[in-house]
Structure 1
Amino acid sequence: MDEHIIEAAGKTRVVVRDGKVVEVGEPVIRSCPLAERFSSPVREMTREEIKKNIEARIRGFGMCTPAREVLADPDFVLFGASELMSAAVRRGDLDAAVIACDGAGTVLARNPRLVQGIGGRMSGLVKTSPIPAVIRRIEENGGTVLDPATARIDPVSGVEAAVQAGHQAVAVTVASPAVAVEVRRRYPDVLIVGVHLTGLSVDEAEQMAAVADIVAVCASRHLREAAGRRALLQAGTAVPVFALTQRGKEIVLDKIRETDRQVVVTGGTLPVAGPRGPEPLV
């Protein structure tokens, strides 16, 4: 069965089968300033609005279909995980990024346009099915699909494949604190980027903050607190991204150096909250 399960717009479970949205769960949060800036905005967290957003992604770039576009150039947000990683790959600070793609599962990407094209358009991917056209397109653009037969999502094995391929500076996106801990235990030098982390418990938030280099805290109350205490740098205030290690901090600062957008930098005690954020934090 061609089935793809996504956590979108604040942890809402969405199921796509054969290019059609067949199930939308109950939204976990009421609003998110980032979702309001999507190309297909979600201004109100309802099942209907979230379904429209996913359908717009399917039409716009072929998400969860054989038409899936896998390359992109422009930043969708300044400090998004894919934006930070793709810029680092382009600069040569990273050799490769291990990320997840609908229709392919875990992917080893060496092309910065591939990192951005996959990650910049993807919400939290829980499960996916192999789509040969998408896998072929990824491989044609310098990517390696971990398991073309099943499209499994396995960050630990993805990092292992990257290391075995000879890459020494590897980043990986991780949505599970337990997986992040395992990656750090087995591969101490990998750059861990935490994503799609709404709803963590206190213990899970502390686990993630202890091992990650960079985290996007999404609507997680506990991760804002845990990461904020440890962070060396906070990027953004509405939906903050925290750099928790010196290496993570350098990745963010190098992104600032190369952007032509206006940026304010100030000292302060973290975390810093903006006038608006996701509501409620969970």
Structure 2
Amino acid sequence: MTGQNDEHIIEANGRARIIIRNGDVVEVGEPLIRNCPLAQRFAHPIPEMNKEHIAANIRYRIAAFGMCTPDRQVEDDREFVGFGASEILSFGMKMGLIDAVVLACDGAGTVIVTRPSMVQGIGGRMSGLVSTTPYSSVISRIKAGGGIVLDPEDGTMDQVAGVARAVEEGFTWIAVTVALPEDALAIRRMFPDVMIVSVHVTGLSYDESQALVAASDLVTACASGHIREIAGKKALVQAGVSVPVFAMTKKGKELLIEKIRQSDDPVLIKPTKLPSLGGSQPEPLI
């Protein structure tokens, strides 16, 4: 499972294409945006989207929790952002509203997890995984925590097949994170009751954004102007203003509202036309 093909490709921090080999960053592409208010609040902040800052952030992740290495930690209970996809889904699992989440995990590929701490430990620390090398140590940790790895040999990422496997395993309240419109549409057609959470949408075209929004229960806006426009006009609830999350269905709305209800943080509730955008937005919106 390791050796000469020890390579991971991710798109993160302004959708820069990043290649990691043998535990180090070997290539960083040009980011599509100049800055992001969320990235400025990372544990290792990115004050400006450039190759140097992005590489430093990724190296911090490698050192801090073993991202893209055999030492990858897969469980965590800390919330990194209030309404991140993993925070929302791990909350839903804690409340008994979700019994399995299909995610992409570096060092494993598509996985099905059943612990809130694993939803957060994997999803809260990973964005835009394009391809990965599977590690037996990471896969063992996931299995020990009650998780399922779709393809332990090759680390394949296939969210549609991951949902199908979760259904086969007998789970009934399944959620999945998707980045590709075709995956979202296929899952909605084949498994209409699955909760679809769309992530990593920066840089999608108008048509791609429309397709993703049409199939999703929840959509993260990232740095997408199209998502803000399309999802914002149709959303039932918006959480956050700088990098908002939109609930597109009653199921998505109920999950967001329940998370707000259970939180100890102060919240402003105000009927208004959506999208409601304030504060600093990612620049540029694309």
Task: Name the structure 2 match of 1:121.
Answer: 125
Structure 1 residues 28-81: Cα deviation after superposition (integer angstroms, max 9, x where no partner): 100000000100000110100000000000000000011111000011111100
Structure 1 residues 88-119: Cα deviation after superposition (integer angstroms, max 9, x where no partner): 11111011100010000001000110000000
Is 2:138 the counterpart of 1:134? yes
Is 2:43 the counterpart of 1:36? no
Output the amino acid matched with 2:131: K
Match of 2:261, SS state, is helix
Cα distance in 1 between the residues matched to 2:71 and 2:263: 31
Structure 1 residues 218-244: Cα deviation after superposition (integer angstroms, max 9, x where no partner): 011111111011100000000010000
Cα distance in 2 between the residues matched to 1:276 and 1:28: 17
Task: Name the structure 1 match of 2:167.
Answer: 163
User: Which one of the candidate residues 185, 189, 196 is aligned to 1:192?
Assistant: 196
Task: Name the structure 2 match of 1:281.
Answer: 285
5 Å matches for 1:69-88? 69-88=73-92
Cα distance in 2 between the residues matched to 1:232 and 1:29: 28
Match of 1:71, SS state, is coil
User: Which one of the candidate residues 5, 11, 33 is aligned to 1:7?
Assistant: 11
8 Å CA contact retained: 1:174, 1:195: yes
User: Which one of the candidate residues 202, 206, 224 is aligned to 2:210?
Assistant: 206
Task: Name the structure 1 match of 2:186.
Answer: 182
Cα distance in 2 between the residues matched to 1:156 and 1:89: 20
5 Å matches for 1:213-224? 213-224=217-228
Cα distance in 1 between the residues matched to 2:86 and 2:80: 9
8 Å CA contact retained: 1:87, 1:255: yes
Output the amino acid matched with 1:91: M
Task: Name the structure 2 match of 1:16.
Answer: 20
Output the amino acid matched with 2:269: V
Match of 1:100, SS state, is strand
Structure 1 residues 145-194: Cα deviation after superposition (integer angstroms, max 9, x where no partner): 00000111100000000000111110000001111001101100000000
> What is the TM-score normalised by the length of structure 1?
0.99
Task: Name the structure 1 match of 2:52.
Answer: 48
Q: Unaligned stretches of 5+ in structure 1?
A: none
Number of equivalences: 282
Identity %: 55
Cα distance in 2 between the residues matched to 1:142 and 1:263: 35
8 Å CA contact retained: 1:209, 1:230: no
8 Å CA contact retained: 1:99, 1:107: yes
Output the amino acid matched with 1:47: K
Cα distance in 2 between the residues matched to 1:186 and 1:153: 18
Is 2:245 the counterpart of 1:255? no
Q: Unaligned stretches of 5+ in structure 2?
A: none
Task: Name the structure 2 match of 1:60.
Answer: 64
Deviation at residue 21 of structure 1 after TM alignment: 0.3
Deviation at residue 275 of structure 1 after TM alignment: 2.2
Match of 1:209, SS state, is helix
5 Å matches for 1:219-230? 219-230=223-234
Match of 1:138, SS state, is helix
Output the amino acid matched with 2:188: R
User: Which one of the candidate residues 157, 167, 177 is aligned to 1:153?
Assistant: 157
> What is the TM-score normalised by the length of structure 2?
0.98
Is 2:269 the counterpart of 1:265? yes
Match of 2:102, SS state, is strand
8 Å CA contact retained: 1:201, 1:222: yes
